[in-house]
Amino acid sequence: MSTSVAVDNLVKHFGTTKALDGVSFEVERGELFGLIGPDGAGKTTLLRILVTLLLPQSGHATVLGNDVVTDMWALRQRVGYMAGRFSLYPDLSVEENLQFFASVFGTTIEHEHDRIAPIYSQLEPFKGRRAAALSGGMKQKLALCCALVHRPEILFLDEPTTGVDAVSRREFWDLLDGLTREGLTTIVSTPYMDEATRCHRVALIQRGRLLAVDTPASIVAAFDRPLFGIKTPNRYDALRALREYERVHSIYPFGEQLHYTDKDLDREPRAIQREVAEFLRSRGIEQVSVDTIEPSIEDSFIARMGTPETMRGDAA
Amino acid sequence: MTPEPVSAAASAKTDAIEAKDLTRTFGGFTAVDHITFSVRVGEVFGFLGANGAGKTTAIRMLTGLLTPSGGSARVAGHDVYTESEAIKRNIGYMSQQFSLYEDLTARENIRLYGGIYDLSRAQIRERGDRMLEQLGLSAVGNRPVRDLPLGWRQKLAFSVALLHRPRVVFLDEPTSGVDPITRRQFWESIYETASSGTTVLVTTHYMDEAEYCDRISIMVAGKIAAMGTPADLKHDRGVASIDDLFVQLARPA
Amino acid sequence: MSALRGLLRKEIVHIRRDPRTLTVLIALPVVQVVLFGYAIRTDVTNVRLAIVDPMPDHATLDLRNRFAAAGVFRIVAVVPRTENLEPLFQTGAAQQAVVFEPDFGDHLENTPSARLQIITDATDPNTGALLDAYASSVIDVWQRELASRDVVSALRRTPRTRVVIVPQTRMRFNPTRESSNLFVPGLMAFVLTIISSLMTAISLTREKETGTMESLLVSPLKPWQIIVGKVAPYLVIGFISVVTILLEALLLFRVPLRGNVLLLLAEGGLFILTSLSLGILVSARTSSQRVAMIGALVGTLLPNVLLSGFIFPVESMPAVLQAFAFVIPGRWFVEIARGIMLKGVGLDYLWQATLILGVTTLLLLAASTRSFKTRLE
């Protein structure tokens, strides 16, 4: 069977809070699948249900053909899981942590050496060091090792790169690429939108609902109108001015630029560029350049999240 | 927050924050190694660096929480060695771990902080009401803060940090984990605050947030490895993003 | 100044809104007053008195009535021979005995002295001394009344010798009245509770706090494996502690060990299991080490110290607390340990206490196993 994970209408409450509000999607075998969303979106809850740590109120999910509710013990042999935020023993050394997790699954480091070698080679120089004394990036690599040591058929990683420096983040994703190349299905959750592009397919999640499930390229391609980047030294004034522009559909800061979309879907981009620049000049804002740009995953996320015009607080 | 001109005892010539060869050691370990930089009044300055690079220690020295081992620094016109209490009165602070008491309501938090900064009851009431109205939180002002969604909590915390109209406000990782829209709303508030003359120093490990700042500095191993406007830095180093720049700095060659 | 006021107000709000802090603040003084007021009584009532009266006559009957009427004593048995006393003391049915010599009345009238003996169970040296004093005073009063009656007969011109009664007290079980003898069993219970309940609770919740419990749960480890794996070391440490305390007691403090060592160790093992189960139960309800520690302290350590008879005798507590002590494992273990060490008795006398302890253990083990969840909720 080529579907590794099948999720059908999962619902999960915690008291009055709805963590998951009818989530459905599938993951194919060998995919590197990303769950992209901010804190509180439901990523951790979803992952915990899939690794049999929580029960949904309604809906079904199967992982590798096993139902997550009824086939709990069969699944626990087959999945690898890396919980969010440092699930290692701080007072044990690198090697001791790994040995422990290997023994829990009835194996040893030596036995699985070839599986974890590419990652372990980076850790081996520190194998006697206590886990608490490792840097953030090293801790995550160790946690990944521990999750892999029993040769799982599928890997679930909950925010493995949160709080980790940019270099270690990239290295971590390189490791994931390596694992995927060997055929391991991996589901990763992350709040970093830019990491979406490193996945085969992604699900954008916010407030317990999926905003989109597709390849990153397709999501971006589905951006429904031209996107413009406005550069000006008076960013803030330009922002306030454009809010009052009659043709504005959405305007928000994005790095050093402002991203702008127009109400009119059919208008020529160059005309829009001209008009916006003129409008700004009429408000006393000079040194403006308006260019068409490619939307990113983050732009798509924002567009699908809600009405970008009302970006002032109230409509939460 | 409606911009209100900050009573500037500091003239435009005096920087809001000045640090020269600022150093801090802990035993044999040098956490902050002779850093020199300055932040102009009304600037939005991004203080970047990986965890453990010395950012937090540097901030603690600037906010009067830690005495430097060497070098000099002035914040809001006061010396960090001799006038740390004056500094604390003139700055605002919002940290990622903590800013508001979760089991108190929004109004109670405002009253508490207003009291701590010696605002009169009238001032507290007036500014508090206005703040809640602008944030759209008037209706939920009497609910415990923990009942509010994360994004609103961050905005409230920011506003409370500004309640006493400080000259400089320090924000420590203010937008971790929030959704993209809330983050942008937050940055708009930062812009608004800066445009009224308050200086903002933001620390973050989101390199793409660096681009929202007027100028940034990147700390590596206790030293400032790069400083300037995001555009200049990218141009000079030939990289497409600050993230790429950071990678370059952290792993030379 | 308003800053200070604001801070004070904030703290009060925090306290008001935190149910746990409130409970501790309100309940603790109440509990303390009740416990210290009622449980901790060093005076004694309801002393179980046995009488050995080989030849009852008007004198012995008279004195026996005095004891019965004194209010402090409760006559639990009247037996003809001293030999009958042994089982009464061993089971604890009698705390004290008054032994009349044969022909007591006759000797009282016609000889310079009539003898009786007071035998007191001094397992608890404090109580023993008191019991002694009570009994002596009853006899004293009776003697003086006798003497005054003699005056009357003296006025009647009937010559009579004044009687001197010589009570011979014997402190049974603890002839030297060492308090260490008394404390050692209680001390064992105390140390075992710390190791088995407190440490277990902390260990399990630490796993939850660091987040590693999640990783353990997702693995194929069964709950019993996780529990046994985490708890077994404390079982071993507990046993080592018991042995260490025993050795110290025997060698350093010369506490007697009159009964069967193996039985003591076995009962110790039973008590350790009970304490372990309690520790698991406490940890099942919380993920915070701090809460687990307080829960273990209040739920296991305090009762075992205050209500087990470790320091304050159970018999002196009001009926309500005695009933409550019934379900406290430490109370039974202390009784068992004292019985084995000081009285030298075996299962034949301790089978009830052992049974109660055993049943409690089984129930708690079942409850704690059930409480351990294989999921996060």
**pLDDT given for residue C51 in this prediction:** 93
Please give the single-letter amino acid code of residue A229.
G
Q: Are A81 and A51 in contact (CB under 8 A)?
A: yes
**pLDDT given for residue C338 in this prediction:** 85
Name the pLDDT band for B1 (thresholds 50, 70, 90). Answer: very low
Structure tokens at C177: 């009245």
- The reported pTM is 0.77
A to B CB pairs, distance under 8 Å: 94
Q: How far is CA A186 from CA A4, A203, A238, in A?
A: 10, 13, 43
Tens of pLDDT, residues A140-177: 999 999 999 999 999 999 999 987 888 888 999 999 99
Residue B116: closest C-alpha in chain C: C3
Query: Do B181 and A193 make contact, defined as CB atoms within 8 angstroms?
Result: no
**pLDDT given for residue A288 in this prediction:** 92
How far is A181 from A201, CA to CA, in rounded Å? 15
How far is C77 from A129, CA to CA, in rounded Å? 72
Closest CA to B182 of B164, B203, B157, B205: B157
How far is C275 from C296, CA to CA, in rounded Å? 10
Name the pLDDT band for A44 (thresholds 50, 70, 90). Answer: very high
Of B177, B179, B195, the CB nearest to A305: B179
Tens of pLDDT, residues B18-66: 999 999 999 889 999 999 999 999 999 999 987 777 888 999 899 888 8
Range in A278-282, B47-51, B63-67, B198-202 the model is least confident about: B47-51
Q: Low-confidence residues of chain C, pLDDT below 50?
A: 157-163
Mean pLDDT rounded to a whole number for chain A: 90
Q: How many helices (H) and strands (E) does chain C have?
A: 16, 5
Name the pLDDT band for B98 (thresholds 50, 70, 90). Answer: low
The owner of tokens 């987040």 is: C211
For the segment A101-113, the average pLDDT, to the nearest whole number, is 87
Q: Which residues contact C203 (CB under 8 A, 6 or more apart)?
A: C230, C231, C234, C283
Residue B139: closest C-alpha in chain A: A314
Query: Do A83 and C221 make contact, defined as CB atoms within 8 angstroms?
Result: no
Q: How far is CA B139 from CA B110, B134, C4, in A?
A: 15, 12, 29
Query: Chains near A, with 3+ CB pairs < 8 A?
Result: B, C
Name the pLDDT band for B252 (thresholds 50, 70, 90). Answer: low
Mean pLDDT rounded to a whole number for chain B: 86
Residue ranges of chain C whose CB lies within 8 Å of a chain A CB: 210-212, 214-221, 374-377
Name the pLDDT band for A222 (thresholds 50, 70, 90). Answer: very high
Structure tokens at A253: 């800061």
pLDDT of residue B2 exceeding 50 = no
Structure tokens at B148: 């509010």
**pLDDT given for residue C163 in this prediction:** 45
pLDDT of residue B8 exceeding 60 = no
- What residue ranges in chain C does DSSP mark as E strands? 47-52, 73-79, 96-100, 113-121, 164-172
What value of ipTM does the predicted structure carry?
Answer: 0.81
How far is C52 from C85, CA to CA, in rounded Å? 8
Tens of pLDDT, residues A48-57: 999 999 999 9
Name the pLDDT band for A308 (thresholds 50, 70, 90). Answer: very low
**pLDDT given for residue C159 in this prediction:** 44
Which chain C residues have a beta carbon less than 8 Å from that of A86?
Answer: 210-211
Q: In what order do the strands lie in the sheet with A17-28?
A: A17-28, A3-14, A58-63, A66-67
Closest CA to C284 of C370, C183, C220: C370
The owner of tokens 């159970």 is: C314
How far is C276 from C296, CA to CA, in rounded Å? 11
Query: Do B247 and A316 make contact, defined as CB atoms within 8 angstroms?
Result: no
Residue B119: closest C-alpha in chain C: C2
Tens of pLDDT, residues B102-154: 888 989 888 888 888 888 889 889 998 888 888 778 888 888 888 887 778 88
How far is A46 from B202, CA to CA, in rounded Å? 33
